[in-house]
Amino acid sequence: MVTTNNVATQLTRIKFGTSGWRAVMADEFTLANVRRAVHGIARYVSSQKPRGARVIVGRDPRFLGETLCSAAADILADYGITPLVITDAAPTPAISYEVIRSHADGAINFTASHNPPEYNGIKFSTPDGAPALPEATKKIEAEIAHFDEDESRAKPRDGRPAAESIDVRAGYLARLREIIDLAAIRKAGLKVVFDPLWGAARGYPDSLLREAGIETATVHDYRDVLFGGHAPEPDDHLLESLRGQMRKMGAHIGIATDGDADRFGIVDRDGTFMQPNYVIALLFDYLVESRGWKNGVAKSVATTNLVNALAEKYGVPLHETPVGFKYIGELIKQDKIAIGGEESAGLSIRHHVPEKDGILAGLLCCEMVARRGSSLSEQLSELFNQVGSFYPRRENFRLTPEVKEQFTRKLQLEPREFYGRKVSQVVRTDGLKLVFDDGAWVCYRLSGTEPVVRVYSEARSAAELDQLSSAAKQWIFESD
């Protein structure tokens, strides 16, 4: 709490979650609070590198993004940090790559990713291009608190550095040309439709494909700060325009990205939306086949065990992490994995950024379809024939305060049986995961920002999944 003109004012607590700080604009996400957050980041960067630090400042296409970047640049300069301001909206993975390529000391990215248009947020990347780990974000939060308590606030340093304008597009696309076999996609005659959902990836994968002579169409290829009136999330129910354009041109695949292009959405040639769980497994299988990478694979605790089965098949080390791509990013930095992914549509690969990359995911899917000569659904069916079938599901349930309190107590239990199923393993990597003796499982995670429990279930048949999902829901609301 601070006092101004003898009036006590309660300040918003700025807390960085799994992907930074997000809030509703004009509610908690105000210019005043943004300034506080940037002061905290600047103080943190200065503590790590007292002189000569350079920090990239970027944004997605949301409302007032340019204003926020300008304000952040001014604050960074006050601390003697050179702001490297990206002139246009830029994808999160492109910003991550530029941090690495230019040896910057971090990046401030104004984005709320796939959240609805009334939200905005701040992501902070460390000098390795990865999302800031909890040890860094806790220090930033502490620096924000110290700034709030400091009546003198920040005083501009002598020799205040001027902001520099930078472009991240050219370097990032050059890197993708090294990773993706564009010649194979062209040779196969693949037709592709891309939907950036009005977001930061506009002009990225589609330009790359067209430049390589690949027939490509784009929908929603203009700035709309309201993202069509809904969240810019590449999910099944929001990709009808993509499907329509695919039918019109007879496309083999549709690829989509969210607001800041760290998440992906993939549509097969018959219009079927491919679950991110399946995309991660397919690409893992493809990378082993095409690149020969067998150094490891990573997945969050809530991601399909189809990955586990493939890891066992190939004799590849498996890493199961808490939810939050920063944990997978650490394994990429250490070159311990060929690919790492989360069921929430985030993945990256070996020798690439330690950050989710929805653009890369879509292009790799194009390459996989082109080189294998079969649809994604056909490839998934072949995987099921090899290692068995897996049917995952994610559901969200809102809780009353009373139910949340009761359920929070339940999460401390270690049940040996779950509605007639024997519990063979209790996993607490993140939340509570119950693994059953038949290989099915259910995982519960309470949201840290809203009264919601996220329930992840997986079974070996569709009918069994329905039964497990029903039981998982019943356990939430059933009295102790």
> Please, what's the b/e burial string for 412-430 (b: 16 or more CB within 10 A of its CB; e: otherwise)?
eeeeeebeebebeeeeeeb
The predicted pLDDT at position 401 comes to: 93
214: left (phi over 0), alpha (psi -120 to 50) or beta: beta
Q: Contact, 427 vs 413, CB < 8 A?
A: no
DSSP E strands in 99-163: the ranges are 107-110, 119-125
Cα gap 209→45, rounded to integer Å: 38
Q: Contact, 449 vs 17, CB < 8 A?
A: yes
Domain boundary among 133, 167, 201: 167
State whether 41 and 182 are in the same domain: no
CATH code, domain carrying 447: 3.30.310.50
**Which residue range(s) make up the domain with 321?**
171-387
Residue 152 burial (CB count, 10 A): 5
pLDDT (tens, 9 = 90+) of the chain, 480 residues, equals 344 443 345 788 999 987 789 999 999 999 999 999 999 999 999 999 999 999 999 999 999 999 999 999 999 999 999 999 999 999 999 999 999 999 999 999 999 999 999 999 999 999 999 999 999 999 999 999 999 997 565 666 667 999 999 999 999 999 999 999 999 999 999 999 999 999 999 999 999 999 999 999 999 999 999 999 999 999 999 999 999 999 999 999 999 999 999 999 999 999 999 999 999 999 999 999 999 999 999 999 999 999 999 999 999 999 999 998 999 999 999 999 999 999 999 999 999 999 999 999 999 999 999 999 999 999 999 999 999 999 999 999 999 999 999 999 999 999 999 999 999 999 999 999 999 999 999 999 998 767 899 999 999 999 999 999 999 999 999 876
Domain boundary among 137, 167, 197: 167
Helix (H) and strand (E) counts in the chain? 15, 23
Closest CA to 475 of 391, 394, 390, 409: 409
State whether 458 and 355 are in the same domain: no
State whether 188 and 257 are in the same domain: yes
Closest CA to 322 of 342, 304, 337: 342
Closest CA to 258 of 130, 106, 89, 99: 89
State whether 73 and 181 are in the same domain: no
CATH code, domain carrying 232: 3.40.120.10
Q: What does pTM read for this prediction? A: 0.94
State whether 105 and 154 are in the same domain: yes
State whether 286 and 356 are in the same domain: yes
Cα gap 474→478, rounded to integer Å: 6
Domain boundary among 329, 354, 387: 387
